[in-house]
Amino acid sequence: MQAQIGARHQSVHKGIMYILLSLPGLLVWVIISMAQLKTDEAPYSGGERLASLSPDWSLLWQLPNLISGHLAQAAQAGAIAGWVVFTFYLLCCFGHAAAVEFLKHWPVLAKGFFWAIIGVGGWEVYTDIRYGMPIGSSDIWGIAVFTLISIGGGLFLGVICIGMLVHGLYLLFGK
Phi, psi of 85 (to 5 degrees): -60, -45
- Category of 69 on φ-ψ map: left (φ > 0), alpha (ψ -120 to 50) or beta: left
Residue 3 CB partners (closer than 8 Å, separation 6+) = none
Q: What's the pLDDT band for 133 if we cut at 50, 70, 90?
A: low
Is residue 159 within 8 A of residue 94, CB to CB? The reply is yes
Q: What's the pLDDT band for 15 if we cut at 50, 70, 90?
A: confident
